[in-house]
A and B are shown apart, each in its own frame.
Chain A
Amino acid sequence: MSVLHFSKTVLKSLFGKPATLMYPVQVREYSDNTRGQIHFNGDDCILCGLCQKKCPAGAIKVSRDEQKWEINRFRCIACNYCSEVCPKKCLEMVNKYVTPRIAPDSVETFTSPYVPPSKKPAAEKGKTISA
Protein backbone atom coordinates (compact mmCIF):
# COMPACT_ATOMS: atom_id res chain seq x y z
CA MET A 1 0.00 0.00 0.00
CA SER A 2 1.38 3.34 -0.92
CA VAL A 3 0.68 5.04 2.39
CA LEU A 4 3.20 3.17 4.52
CA HIS A 5 6.44 4.34 2.91
CA PHE A 6 7.33 6.41 5.88
CA SER A 7 7.04 3.60 8.43
CA LYS A 8 10.67 2.42 8.08
CA THR A 9 11.96 5.92 8.73
CA VAL A 10 9.53 6.35 11.60
CA LEU A 11 10.73 3.16 13.27
CA LYS A 12 14.36 4.18 12.80
CA SER A 13 13.69 7.57 14.36
CA LEU A 14 11.81 5.96 17.21
CA PHE A 15 14.52 3.52 18.20
CA GLY A 16 17.63 5.21 16.83
CA LYS A 17 19.86 7.83 18.38
CA PRO A 18 18.81 11.47 18.07
CA ALA A 19 20.16 13.20 14.98
CA THR A 20 20.88 16.40 16.86
CA LEU A 21 23.62 17.13 19.37
CA MET A 22 22.56 17.52 22.96
CA TYR A 23 24.13 20.94 23.27
CA PRO A 24 25.62 22.18 25.63
CA VAL A 25 26.33 18.78 27.21
CA GLN A 26 27.82 17.63 23.92
CA VAL A 27 29.91 20.31 22.30
CA ARG A 28 30.30 20.36 18.53
CA GLU A 29 33.77 19.61 17.23
CA TYR A 30 34.79 21.92 14.42
CA SER A 31 36.90 20.56 11.62
CA ASP A 32 40.47 21.83 11.25
CA ASN A 33 39.49 23.72 8.15
CA THR A 34 36.53 25.55 9.68
CA ARG A 35 36.80 29.27 9.22
CA GLY A 36 35.95 30.72 12.58
CA GLN A 37 37.74 33.92 13.37
CA ILE A 38 40.95 35.70 12.54
CA HIS A 39 43.70 35.44 15.10
CA PHE A 40 46.28 38.23 15.12
CA ASN A 41 49.79 37.37 16.12
CA GLY A 42 51.26 40.82 16.54
CA ASP A 43 54.94 40.04 17.11
CA ASP A 44 55.80 39.77 13.42
CA CYS A 45 53.44 42.40 12.08
CA ILE A 46 55.20 45.16 10.18
CA LEU A 47 52.05 47.31 9.99
CA CYS A 48 52.22 47.29 6.22
CA GLY A 49 48.44 47.69 5.92
CA LEU A 50 48.03 45.12 3.19
CA CYS A 51 45.39 43.26 5.16
CA GLN A 52 43.39 46.46 5.54
CA LYS A 53 43.65 47.20 1.84
CA LYS A 54 42.57 43.74 0.75
CA CYS A 55 39.82 42.98 3.27
CA PRO A 56 36.61 42.91 1.22
CA ALA A 57 34.50 43.83 4.23
CA GLY A 58 36.64 46.69 5.52
CA ALA A 59 36.94 45.03 8.91
CA ILE A 60 40.61 45.78 9.57
CA LYS A 61 42.21 49.11 10.36
CA VAL A 62 45.94 49.51 10.58
CA SER A 63 47.48 52.60 12.02
CA ARG A 64 51.18 52.85 11.56
CA ASP A 65 51.58 55.99 13.64
CA GLU A 66 49.86 54.58 16.66
CA GLN A 67 51.24 51.09 16.09
CA LYS A 68 47.75 49.74 16.23
CA TRP A 69 45.99 46.90 14.46
CA GLU A 70 42.22 46.85 14.83
CA ILE A 71 39.54 44.42 13.76
CA ASN A 72 35.81 44.79 13.87
CA ARG A 73 34.68 41.21 14.27
CA PHE A 74 31.10 41.98 13.31
CA ARG A 75 32.19 43.25 9.92
CA CYS A 76 34.49 40.32 9.23
CA ILE A 77 32.99 37.78 6.83
CA ALA A 78 35.60 35.12 7.65
CA CYS A 79 36.88 34.91 4.11
CA ASN A 80 40.50 34.35 5.10
CA TYR A 81 41.82 36.69 2.41
CA CYS A 82 43.81 38.81 4.87
CA SER A 83 45.76 35.85 6.15
CA GLU A 84 46.53 34.88 2.54
CA VAL A 85 47.93 38.27 1.65
CA CYS A 86 49.83 39.03 4.86
CA PRO A 87 53.54 39.02 3.96
CA LYS A 88 54.57 38.11 7.50
CA LYS A 89 51.97 35.38 7.98
CA CYS A 90 50.88 36.89 11.26
CA LEU A 91 47.19 36.45 10.60
CA GLU A 92 45.66 33.06 11.02
CA MET A 93 42.16 31.67 10.70
CA VAL A 94 41.29 29.65 13.78
CA ASN A 95 38.33 27.29 14.03
CA LYS A 96 36.97 28.98 17.10
CA TYR A 97 33.60 30.60 17.21
CA VAL A 98 33.58 34.42 17.22
CA THR A 99 33.62 35.72 20.77
CA PRO A 100 30.30 37.36 21.66
CA ARG A 101 30.30 41.10 22.11
CA ILE A 102 27.81 43.61 23.39
CA ALA A 103 28.44 46.84 21.49
CA PRO A 104 27.59 46.52 17.78
CA ASP A 105 30.63 48.43 16.61
CA SER A 106 33.17 47.21 19.10
CA VAL A 107 36.62 46.83 17.67
CA GLU A 108 39.37 44.72 19.08
CA THR A 109 42.61 46.63 19.24
CA PHE A 110 46.10 45.16 19.32
CA THR A 111 49.38 46.98 19.57
CA SER A 112 52.34 45.90 17.56
CA PRO A 113 55.87 46.25 18.90
CA TYR A 114 57.04 47.19 15.40
CA VAL A 115 58.54 50.63 15.05
CA PRO A 116 58.72 52.06 11.52
CA PRO A 117 62.40 52.42 10.49
CA SER A 118 62.41 56.14 9.77
CA LYS A 119 60.40 58.62 11.70
CA LYS A 120 60.70 61.37 9.14
CA PRO A 121 57.88 60.67 6.67
CA ALA A 122 55.55 59.44 9.39
CA ALA A 123 52.69 61.76 8.45
CA GLU A 124 52.96 60.89 4.80
CA LYS A 125 53.01 57.17 5.49
CA GLY A 126 49.99 57.39 7.71
CA LYS A 127 48.14 58.95 4.81
CA THR A 128 49.00 56.19 2.37
CA ILE A 129 47.87 53.51 4.73
CA SER A 130 44.55 54.95 5.63
CA ALA A 131 43.68 55.78 2.01
Chain B
Amino acid sequence: MPNRTIIPFGPQHPVLPEPIHLDLVLEDEKVVEALPSIGFVHRGLEKLVEKRDFLEYVFVAERICGICSFIHGMAYSQTVEEIMNIEIPERASYLRTIWGEYSRIHSHLLWLGLMADAFGFESLFMHSWRIRETILDMIEETTGGRVIFGTCKVGGVRKDISNDTLQGMVRKTLELEKEIREITEIFIKDFTVQKRLVGAGVLTKEEAYTLGTVGPTLRGSGVAQDARTLGYAAFKDLDFEPIVEKDGDSYARCVVRIREIFQSIDLIKQAAAKIPDGPIDVKVKGNPEGEFFTRIEQPRGEAIYYIKGSNSKYLDRVRVRTPTFANIPAMVKTLQGCDLADVPVLLLTIDPCISCTER
Protein backbone atom coordinates (compact mmCIF):
# COMPACT_ATOMS: atom_id res chain seq x y z
CA MET B 1 0.00 0.00 0.00
CA PRO B 2 1.40 3.40 -0.94
CA ASN B 3 2.14 5.94 1.73
CA ARG B 4 -0.62 8.30 2.64
CA THR B 5 0.07 11.98 3.06
CA ILE B 6 -2.28 14.68 4.25
CA ILE B 7 -1.89 18.01 2.54
CA PRO B 8 -3.68 20.95 4.12
CA PHE B 9 -5.28 23.18 1.48
CA GLY B 10 -6.55 26.56 2.60
CA PRO B 11 -8.18 28.49 4.23
CA GLN B 12 -5.86 30.75 2.28
CA HIS B 13 -5.06 29.11 -0.97
CA PRO B 14 -4.05 29.87 -4.53
CA VAL B 15 -7.43 29.59 -6.25
CA LEU B 16 -9.79 32.05 -4.74
CA PRO B 17 -9.83 34.52 -1.90
CA GLU B 18 -12.38 32.50 0.03
CA PRO B 19 -11.73 30.67 3.26
CA ILE B 20 -12.40 27.01 2.76
CA HIS B 21 -10.04 24.47 4.21
CA LEU B 22 -9.55 21.00 2.79
CA ASP B 23 -7.56 18.13 4.21
CA LEU B 24 -6.43 16.29 1.14
CA VAL B 25 -5.48 12.67 1.80
CA LEU B 26 -3.05 11.67 -0.92
CA GLU B 27 -1.64 8.42 -2.14
CA ASP B 28 1.34 9.56 -4.20
CA GLU B 29 -0.18 12.25 -6.42
CA LYS B 30 -3.77 11.01 -6.22
CA VAL B 31 -6.33 12.43 -3.85
CA VAL B 32 -8.17 9.59 -2.13
CA GLU B 33 -10.22 11.69 0.19
CA ALA B 34 -10.97 15.36 0.73
CA LEU B 35 -12.31 16.57 4.07
CA PRO B 36 -13.74 20.07 3.88
CA SER B 37 -14.10 22.44 6.78
CA ILE B 38 -15.70 25.84 6.75
CA GLY B 39 -16.62 28.34 9.42
CA PHE B 40 -13.87 30.92 9.13
CA VAL B 41 -16.02 33.92 8.25
CA HIS B 42 -19.30 33.40 10.04
CA ARG B 43 -20.90 36.83 10.49
CA GLY B 44 -24.19 35.99 12.16
CA LEU B 45 -26.31 37.74 9.55
CA GLU B 46 -29.32 35.49 10.14
CA LYS B 47 -29.35 36.43 13.80
CA LEU B 48 -29.20 40.12 12.90
CA VAL B 49 -32.80 39.93 11.80
CA GLU B 50 -33.79 40.28 15.44
CA LYS B 51 -32.10 43.69 15.61
CA ARG B 52 -33.04 45.25 12.26
CA ASP B 53 -36.62 45.81 11.25
CA PHE B 54 -37.86 43.84 8.27
CA LEU B 55 -37.68 46.76 5.84
CA GLU B 56 -34.11 47.51 6.80
CA TYR B 57 -33.01 43.89 6.67
CA VAL B 58 -33.04 43.91 2.88
CA PHE B 59 -29.73 45.79 3.05
CA VAL B 60 -28.32 43.06 5.25
CA ALA B 61 -29.69 40.33 2.96
CA GLU B 62 -27.94 41.98 0.04
CA ARG B 63 -24.67 41.79 1.87
CA ILE B 64 -24.87 38.04 2.43
CA CYS B 65 -22.99 37.62 -0.81
CA GLY B 66 -20.65 40.00 -2.57
CA ILE B 67 -21.49 38.77 -6.05
CA CYS B 68 -25.10 37.68 -6.27
CA SER B 69 -26.05 40.38 -3.79
CA PHE B 70 -28.99 41.68 -5.77
CA ILE B 71 -30.62 38.26 -6.05
CA HIS B 72 -30.30 37.81 -2.27
CA GLY B 73 -32.12 41.09 -1.73
CA MET B 74 -34.69 40.05 -4.28
CA ALA B 75 -35.25 36.62 -2.68
CA TYR B 76 -35.70 38.25 0.71
CA SER B 77 -38.13 40.86 -0.59
CA GLN B 78 -40.07 38.27 -2.54
CA THR B 79 -40.50 36.11 0.54
CA VAL B 80 -41.68 38.98 2.73
CA GLU B 81 -44.04 40.12 -0.02
CA GLU B 82 -45.55 36.63 -0.18
CA ILE B 83 -46.12 36.61 3.57
CA MET B 84 -47.72 40.05 3.51
CA ASN B 85 -49.68 39.41 0.30
CA ILE B 86 -48.12 42.35 -1.46
CA GLU B 87 -48.52 42.44 -5.20
CA ILE B 88 -45.62 44.42 -6.63
CA PRO B 89 -46.10 46.45 -9.84
CA GLU B 90 -45.22 44.72 -13.10
CA ARG B 91 -42.53 47.24 -13.91
CA ALA B 92 -40.77 46.45 -10.64
CA SER B 93 -40.81 42.72 -11.49
CA TYR B 94 -39.24 43.42 -14.84
CA LEU B 95 -36.61 45.72 -13.38
CA ARG B 96 -35.74 43.05 -10.82
CA THR B 97 -35.43 40.51 -13.61
CA ILE B 98 -33.18 42.76 -15.67
CA TRP B 99 -30.89 43.58 -12.76
CA GLY B 100 -30.87 39.94 -11.70
CA GLU B 101 -29.76 38.83 -15.15
CA TYR B 102 -27.08 41.50 -15.27
CA SER B 103 -25.77 40.20 -12.00
CA ARG B 104 -25.75 36.68 -13.44
CA ILE B 105 -23.68 37.87 -16.40
CA HIS B 106 -21.16 39.63 -14.20
CA SER B 107 -20.96 36.65 -11.85
CA HIS B 108 -20.34 34.21 -14.69
CA LEU B 109 -17.73 36.48 -16.24
CA LEU B 110 -16.05 36.72 -12.88
CA TRP B 111 -16.05 32.94 -12.64
CA LEU B 112 -14.66 32.54 -16.15
CA GLY B 113 -11.83 34.86 -15.19
CA LEU B 114 -11.10 32.97 -11.99
CA MET B 115 -11.23 29.71 -13.89
CA ALA B 116 -8.74 30.96 -16.48
CA ASP B 117 -6.56 32.07 -13.60
CA ALA B 118 -6.83 28.64 -11.96
CA PHE B 119 -5.66 26.80 -15.04
CA GLY B 120 -2.94 29.34 -15.60
CA PHE B 121 -4.25 31.38 -18.54
CA GLU B 122 -3.60 34.82 -17.09
CA SER B 123 -4.39 36.92 -20.14
CA LEU B 124 -7.73 35.20 -20.61
CA PHE B 125 -8.50 36.01 -16.98
CA MET B 126 -7.81 39.69 -17.57
CA HIS B 127 -9.92 39.77 -20.73
CA SER B 128 -12.89 38.18 -18.97
CA TRP B 129 -12.66 40.79 -16.27
CA ARG B 130 -12.21 43.59 -18.79
CA ILE B 131 -15.58 42.70 -20.26
CA ARG B 132 -17.11 42.33 -16.82
CA GLU B 133 -16.06 45.90 -16.10
CA THR B 134 -18.39 47.24 -18.81
CA ILE B 135 -21.28 45.33 -17.25
CA LEU B 136 -20.38 46.72 -13.82
CA ASP B 137 -20.32 50.25 -15.25
CA MET B 138 -23.82 49.79 -16.61
CA ILE B 139 -24.97 48.51 -13.25
CA GLU B 140 -23.36 51.47 -11.52
CA GLU B 141 -25.05 53.94 -13.84
CA THR B 142 -28.49 52.53 -13.11
CA THR B 143 -28.28 51.48 -9.48
CA GLY B 144 -25.48 53.54 -7.97
CA GLY B 145 -23.46 50.55 -6.82
CA ARG B 146 -21.23 48.16 -8.68
CA VAL B 147 -21.86 44.89 -6.87
CA ILE B 148 -24.15 45.94 -4.05
CA PHE B 149 -27.02 47.38 -6.06
CA GLY B 150 -29.19 48.48 -3.15
CA THR B 151 -32.20 48.91 -5.39
CA CYS B 152 -34.47 46.15 -4.15
CA LYS B 153 -36.93 46.76 -1.38
CA VAL B 154 -39.97 45.13 0.07
CA GLY B 155 -42.78 46.30 -2.18
CA GLY B 156 -40.83 46.93 -5.37
CA VAL B 157 -37.61 48.63 -6.36
CA ARG B 158 -36.00 51.88 -5.30
CA LYS B 159 -34.87 53.17 -8.65
CA ASP B 160 -36.35 53.23 -12.09
CA ILE B 161 -34.49 52.91 -15.37
CA SER B 162 -35.93 55.16 -18.05
CA ASN B 163 -36.95 53.39 -21.25
CA ASP B 164 -34.31 55.26 -23.24
CA THR B 165 -31.55 54.23 -20.88
CA LEU B 166 -32.83 50.69 -21.00
CA GLN B 167 -32.70 50.60 -24.79
CA GLY B 168 -29.20 52.05 -24.65
CA MET B 169 -28.18 49.35 -22.18
CA VAL B 170 -29.57 46.63 -24.40
CA ARG B 171 -27.69 48.05 -27.40
CA LYS B 172 -24.47 48.18 -25.43
CA THR B 173 -24.99 44.65 -24.13
CA LEU B 174 -25.61 43.31 -27.61
CA GLU B 175 -22.40 44.94 -28.77
CA LEU B 176 -20.65 43.40 -25.83
CA GLU B 177 -22.07 40.03 -26.79
CA LYS B 178 -19.65 39.89 -29.74
CA GLU B 179 -16.71 40.48 -27.45
CA ILE B 180 -17.95 37.90 -24.98
CA ARG B 181 -18.31 35.42 -27.83
CA GLU B 182 -14.75 36.07 -28.91
CA ILE B 183 -13.41 35.40 -25.42
CA THR B 184 -15.64 32.43 -24.63
CA GLU B 185 -14.72 30.74 -27.93
CA ILE B 186 -11.29 30.35 -26.41
CA PHE B 187 -12.72 28.54 -23.40
CA ILE B 188 -14.76 26.30 -25.65
CA LYS B 189 -12.27 25.53 -28.39
CA ASP B 190 -8.75 26.11 -27.21
CA PHE B 191 -6.58 23.03 -26.99
CA THR B 192 -4.82 23.97 -23.76
CA VAL B 193 -8.09 24.78 -22.01
CA GLN B 194 -9.65 21.51 -23.11
CA LYS B 195 -6.60 19.66 -21.87
CA ARG B 196 -7.31 20.92 -18.35
CA LEU B 197 -11.08 20.61 -18.33
CA VAL B 198 -12.36 17.75 -20.47
CA GLY B 199 -12.91 14.64 -18.41
CA ALA B 200 -11.87 16.31 -15.15
CA GLY B 201 -14.13 15.75 -12.16
CA VAL B 202 -16.91 13.82 -13.81
CA LEU B 203 -20.21 13.87 -11.97
CA THR B 204 -22.81 11.56 -13.46
CA LYS B 205 -26.45 12.52 -13.71
CA GLU B 206 -27.43 10.20 -10.85
CA GLU B 207 -24.62 11.38 -8.61
CA ALA B 208 -25.40 15.02 -9.26
CA TYR B 209 -29.03 14.40 -8.44
CA THR B 210 -28.58 12.30 -5.33
CA LEU B 211 -25.91 14.59 -3.91
CA GLY B 212 -28.40 17.43 -4.16
CA THR B 213 -26.33 19.70 -6.38
CA VAL B 214 -27.88 22.81 -7.83
CA GLY B 215 -27.33 25.32 -10.59
CA PRO B 216 -24.77 24.99 -13.38
CA THR B 217 -23.16 22.05 -11.55
CA LEU B 218 -26.41 20.11 -11.78
CA ARG B 219 -27.22 21.27 -15.30
CA GLY B 220 -23.71 20.36 -16.44
CA SER B 221 -24.56 16.78 -15.51
CA GLY B 222 -27.64 16.70 -17.65
CA VAL B 223 -30.46 17.55 -15.22
CA ALA B 224 -32.68 20.31 -16.57
CA GLN B 225 -33.50 22.08 -13.34
CA ASP B 226 -33.58 25.84 -13.08
CA ALA B 227 -35.59 27.68 -10.44
CA ARG B 228 -36.32 30.47 -12.90
CA THR B 229 -38.77 28.13 -14.61
CA LEU B 230 -40.97 28.56 -11.51
CA GLY B 231 -41.86 31.89 -13.05
CA TYR B 232 -41.09 34.36 -10.28
CA ALA B 233 -40.58 38.05 -11.10
CA ALA B 234 -40.97 38.47 -14.86
CA PHE B 235 -39.69 35.04 -15.82
CA LYS B 236 -43.25 33.84 -16.34
CA ASP B 237 -43.52 36.09 -19.39
CA LEU B 238 -40.12 35.34 -20.86
CA ASP B 239 -39.18 32.56 -23.15
CA PHE B 240 -36.27 30.39 -22.07
CA GLU B 241 -35.21 26.83 -21.43
CA PRO B 242 -32.77 25.60 -18.78
CA ILE B 243 -29.33 25.13 -20.29
CA VAL B 244 -28.11 21.56 -20.06
CA GLU B 245 -24.89 19.78 -20.96
CA LYS B 246 -24.57 16.03 -20.71
CA ASP B 247 -20.98 15.19 -19.90
CA GLY B 248 -20.81 16.21 -16.24
CA ASP B 249 -17.13 17.13 -16.36
CA SER B 250 -15.49 20.48 -15.64
CA TYR B 251 -15.72 21.39 -19.30
CA ALA B 252 -19.49 20.81 -19.34
CA ARG B 253 -19.95 23.03 -16.27
CA CYS B 254 -17.87 25.71 -17.95
CA VAL B 255 -19.91 25.50 -21.15
CA VAL B 256 -23.18 25.73 -19.18
CA ARG B 257 -22.04 28.99 -17.62
CA ILE B 258 -20.89 30.37 -20.95
CA ARG B 259 -24.20 29.54 -22.58
CA GLU B 260 -26.02 31.06 -19.61
CA ILE B 261 -24.32 34.39 -20.25
CA PHE B 262 -25.88 34.47 -23.72
CA GLN B 263 -29.18 33.28 -22.31
CA SER B 264 -29.14 36.15 -19.81
CA ILE B 265 -28.40 38.64 -22.59
CA ASP B 266 -31.37 37.26 -24.47
CA LEU B 267 -33.58 37.47 -21.36
CA ILE B 268 -32.56 41.10 -20.84
CA LYS B 269 -33.43 41.82 -24.46
CA GLN B 270 -36.83 40.18 -24.09
CA ALA B 271 -37.56 41.89 -20.78
CA ALA B 272 -36.55 45.31 -22.13
CA ALA B 273 -38.90 44.82 -25.08
CA LYS B 274 -41.84 43.82 -22.89
CA ILE B 275 -41.41 46.06 -19.85
CA PRO B 276 -44.65 47.90 -19.09
CA ASP B 277 -44.81 51.50 -17.86
CA GLY B 278 -46.16 52.27 -14.45
CA PRO B 279 -45.18 52.67 -10.84
CA ILE B 280 -42.18 50.86 -9.41
CA ASP B 281 -43.28 50.30 -5.85
CA VAL B 282 -46.26 49.97 -3.55
CA LYS B 283 -46.61 51.20 -0.02
CA VAL B 284 -46.01 48.58 2.62
CA LYS B 285 -48.42 48.64 5.53
CA GLY B 286 -48.38 46.46 8.60
CA ASN B 287 -45.98 43.77 9.64
CA PRO B 288 -45.38 40.29 8.27
CA GLU B 289 -47.22 37.47 9.96
CA GLY B 290 -46.73 33.89 8.87
CA GLU B 291 -44.01 31.97 7.14
CA PHE B 292 -42.90 31.35 3.60
CA PHE B 293 -40.31 29.45 1.67
CA THR B 294 -38.88 30.81 -1.60
CA ARG B 295 -36.74 29.15 -4.24
CA ILE B 296 -34.75 31.42 -6.48
CA GLU B 297 -32.06 30.85 -9.08
CA GLN B 298 -28.77 32.56 -8.37
CA PRO B 299 -25.74 32.43 -10.66
CA ARG B 300 -24.37 29.59 -8.54
CA GLY B 301 -27.61 27.69 -8.34
CA GLU B 302 -30.79 27.55 -6.39
CA ALA B 303 -30.97 29.47 -3.13
CA ILE B 304 -33.68 28.94 -0.56
CA TYR B 305 -35.11 31.59 1.72
CA TYR B 306 -37.28 30.76 4.67
CA ILE B 307 -38.82 33.61 6.67
CA LYS B 308 -41.08 33.57 9.67
CA GLY B 309 -42.71 36.59 11.21
CA SER B 310 -45.21 37.09 13.98
CA ASN B 311 -46.79 40.45 13.30
CA SER B 312 -43.90 42.44 14.66
CA LYS B 313 -41.40 44.78 13.04
CA TYR B 314 -38.70 42.26 13.78
CA LEU B 315 -38.88 38.90 12.05
CA ASP B 316 -38.58 35.71 14.08
CA ARG B 317 -36.38 33.79 11.74
CA VAL B 318 -34.61 34.12 8.43
CA ARG B 319 -32.97 31.01 7.09
CA VAL B 320 -30.89 31.01 3.92
CA ARG B 321 -29.64 27.93 2.12
CA THR B 322 -27.06 29.10 -0.37
CA PRO B 323 -26.21 27.16 -3.53
CA THR B 324 -22.58 26.59 -2.59
CA PHE B 325 -23.64 24.72 0.51
CA ALA B 326 -25.62 22.31 -1.65
CA ASN B 327 -22.69 21.87 -4.00
CA ILE B 328 -20.01 21.04 -1.43
CA PRO B 329 -20.82 17.26 -1.33
CA ALA B 330 -20.48 17.15 -5.11
CA MET B 331 -17.17 18.96 -4.90
CA VAL B 332 -15.85 16.47 -2.35
CA LYS B 333 -17.02 13.65 -4.59
CA THR B 334 -15.26 15.00 -7.69
CA LEU B 335 -12.06 15.51 -5.72
CA GLN B 336 -11.84 11.81 -4.89
CA GLY B 337 -9.44 10.18 -7.28
CA CYS B 338 -8.21 13.36 -8.94
CA ASP B 339 -4.61 14.51 -9.26
CA LEU B 340 -3.34 17.02 -6.74
CA ALA B 341 -2.69 19.48 -9.56
CA ASP B 342 -6.37 19.35 -10.56
CA VAL B 343 -7.68 20.28 -7.11
CA PRO B 344 -7.86 24.05 -7.78
CA VAL B 345 -9.75 23.56 -11.02
CA LEU B 346 -12.21 21.10 -9.50
CA LEU B 347 -12.74 23.28 -6.48
CA LEU B 348 -13.59 26.16 -8.77
CA THR B 349 -15.99 24.34 -11.07
CA ILE B 350 -18.76 24.48 -8.49
CA ASP B 351 -18.20 28.26 -8.34
CA PRO B 352 -17.83 28.27 -4.57
CA CYS B 353 -18.92 31.28 -2.57
CA ILE B 354 -17.89 30.37 0.93
CA SER B 355 -18.67 33.69 2.60
CA CYS B 356 -22.33 33.46 1.69
CA THR B 357 -22.42 29.81 2.71
CA GLU B 358 -21.38 30.87 6.19
CA ARG B 359 -23.26 34.18 6.34
Give Cα distance in the complex from A28 to B150, angstroms. Answer: 22
Contact A6 B186 (CB under 8 A): yes
Question: How distant is B120 from chain A, measured CB to nearest CB, in Å?
Answer: 14
Main secondary structure of the interface of B (DSSP, over half): helix
Give Cα distance in the complex from A34 to B137, angstroms. Answer: 10
List the B side residues contacting A8 at CB < 8 Å.
Answer: 182
Number of A-B contacts (CB under 8 A): 61
By beta carbon, the residue of chain B nearest A28 is B137
Give Cα distance in the complex from A59 to B130, angstroms. Answer: 34
Contact with B along A24-37 (1 / 0, CB 8 A): 00000011011100
Contact A56 B190 (CB under 8 A): no
Q: Answer yes or no: A46 CB below 8 A from chain B CBs.
A: no
Give Cα distance in the complex from A5 to B137, angstroms. Answer: 28
Question: How distant is A57 from chain B, measured CB to nearest CB, in Å?
Answer: 8
Contact B190 A80 (CB under 8 A): no
Contact B186 A79 (CB under 8 A): no
Contact with A along B143-157 (1 / 0, CB 8 A): 111001010000000
Contact B140 A77 (CB under 8 A): no
How many B residues have CB within 8 A of the partner chain? 30
Question: How distant is A42 from chain B, measured CB to nearest CB, in Å?
Answer: 24
Contact A31 B186 (CB under 8 A): no
Question: How distant is B309 from chain A, measured CB to nearest CB, in Å?
Answer: 18
How many A residues have CB within 8 A of the partner chain? 23
By beta carbon, the residue of chain B nearest A31 is B141
Q: Answer yes or no: B192 CB below 8 A from chain A CBs.
A: yes
Give Cα distance in the complex from A2 to B123, angstroms. Answer: 18
Pick the contact of A35: B56, B133, B150 (CB < 8 A).
B150
Chain B residues in the interface with A (C-beta under 8 A): 52, 56-57, 59-60, 63, 123-124, 127, 130, 133, 137, 140-145, 148, 150, 158-159, 182-183, 185-186, 189-192
Pairs across A and B, CB under 8 Å, 26 listed: A3-B190, A5-B185, A6-B124, A6-B186, A8-B182, A9-B186, A13-B123, A13-B127, A30-B140, A31-B140, A31-B144, A33-B140, A33-B141, A33-B143, A33-B144, A33-B159, A34-B140, A35-B145, A35-B150, A56-B52, A56-B57, A56-B59, A78-B145, A80-B144, A80-B158, A93-B144
